[in-house]
Amino acid sequence: MGRRSLKDSFSNALDGIGYAVVSGRNMRIHLLAAVLAILTGVWLGINRHEWVMIFICVFMVLTVETINSALEKTVDLITSKYHPLAKHAKNMAAGAVLFTAVNAVIVGILVFGPYLLKKF
């Protein structure tokens, strides 16, 4: 592989993100949750520091889901046969997504909770 231009690098990255969205049901679910979190933040008028926390969580979940999908595709490329190590690798990557999603929910409760209690 030769040297690629910066434009090619960005193009490849965007292709990868597009593929993750088109091919991954869970990625679409995470994107929907991200949009809902952002809309909720706008509706509630959260402050700058709270936006930072929300965006860190959103991008952490999307990043880990993308890495999980890449790992799954790589394992599937290496072997089509059942192997316990392949199963463990896929399950651990899915566990990493679960960790980040649970973290995002906790942060969402901590950020949005007080605003929602005041509204209702």
Residues with a known catalytic role? 65
How crowded is the C-beta side of 116, counted as CA atoms within 13 Å? 9
- By C-alpha distance, which of 32, 18, 15, 30 is closest to 94? 30
Closest CA to 66 of 6, 13, 5: 13
Is 50 known to sit in a ligand binding site? no
C-alpha–C-alpha distance, residues 70 and 96, integer Å? 13
Nearest to 106 by CA among 53, 41, 67: 53
Enumerate the known binding-site residues: 65, 72
